Structure 1
């Protein structure tokens, strides 16, 4: 019987997204939003990389 493997909890968390500025906001809140969004995307990609590394370790005999 094959047991189903589950991804460890610390690797499966969602990436928090920044709040979207109100319509008609000045450039400062929009710039801050874009910087925070870029950071969130980088964090999410690091999480995906960690999951792939974990999967590779599970497949190694």
Structure 2
């Protein structure tokens, strides 16, 4: 089975981590060190951004 591709680009994930205040952890230790809460916060923020973008596109 092939490796699953991520939905979010690496750059987008880094920007979210910076916005949410834990990029230092990612830059020092990698994505494997973030907590489930931090990962959930990233997903929640990504959904918010997508929803805002969809609203702008409809207007």
Between Structure 1 and Structure 2, whose CA radius of gyration is higher?
Answer: 1
TM-score (norm 2): 0.49
Greater helix fraction, Structure 1 or Structure 2: 2
| Larger RCO (CA within 8 A; separation ≥ 6) | 1
